[in-house]
Chain A
Amino acid sequence: MSPQLFLDILTYSAMSLTVVLSIVVVSARSPIFAALCLITSLLTAAVLFVLLKATFIAAAQVLIYAGGILVLFIYILMLLGVESSLWRRRQKIILVALFLLMFVAGLLPLSLLFGPAADIMSTSVADDFGTIRGFGSLLLQQYAFAFEIISVVLVAVIVGVVYLTRKKSR
């Protein structure tokens, strides 16, 4: 098997898995199953990021998203015990119709804009594209202010969460 064919198979299977798992997340009856499918969908999206040469983002996706945020989801699911919800038949039909409508409405402008000529994978990029080195130098030079703002936001979130969940002392 040639490397290009292997890469193509990997790309298309990661894409279709991401889409199918997202559908399962939205339509699954059991919330815990939906959360597990969401983790898998984020992992296949990380495979797509690696194929697009965004290796640091792929690592952050696996570590922070799949490892941190989704574990929080499952923790909350087990703590609160959400019962599974059923979909009605009419809802399903409306859902599929809306999806097709929005797909056509979004796909037509997109295909007019980029056409078959724009092939993302074949454009050449710099050596440090997507690595921690390139990412870090851009983040800490051009985006240093936004980076600091994000840290302030996260501190505010921590204070807010502690305030919301504390026990009344009186």
Chain B
Amino acid sequence: MLLEVEDLHVSVERKELLKGVDLKVDRGEVFAVMGHNASGKTTLALTLAGFPQYTVTRGKITFDGKDITNKTIDERARAGMALAFQSPPAIRGIRLGDIISLAGGVNPWTPRPGDDMDLPKKMLERVNLEHSLYTNRELNVGFSGGERKRSELAQIFAMRPRLMILDEPDSGVDIDSLKVVGNSLREYISSYDCTVIIITHHRHILQYLKPTRVHIMSNGRIMITGGYDELMPKIEAMGYEQLIKEAVANG
């Protein structure tokens, strides 16, 4: 088991946003987390990544056999957990290429012998961003929706993570970027045998990733779990609300 979440309760400013989430993710699995807005999907992602404003009031997160419930963001990242942000901040004065290097454990200002100085180039190429144009760009400054998502992937690919948490990697991107995001994710996952939790609203991105399981969240809980081929047509036909009502009615 790579990740185990037990009875996770999370509050932000005393408001309970996750109300007991259980999750078990095996190595190599691709998990989709779906659900309407404010159902707790992003809260789950940011809690897993260790964001301090999300207070765990109950429950436990175990990653690779270790209890990481109280670990900091950077400790979790170095342990092999990488989060692609839904809306990453734009930061002036910091170059995308430098952050890709740092994510890959290379200090671009004081490289050591044997450091891969081509890491930014290789990672940007993976997401079809021309490195000569993007390495020196300020981090996410003036990036389009698609550019941001691709920049996120280039950064987390550099981390060589064992678990990728992708928070809506397909929102606000055009069809061309969606293709790039989908293909590059598929390639990466198959090359590195990476485990994935993907949060999304749409079927399109999932067609590239072929999730092993789909979870539907509502009101801070996982309400429905099922296979992709079984659940997806139902979601499309009935919508989340109806599906959840039916599931509740069926116990």
Q: Do A and B bind each other?
A: no
Binding site for A on B (CB under 8 A): none
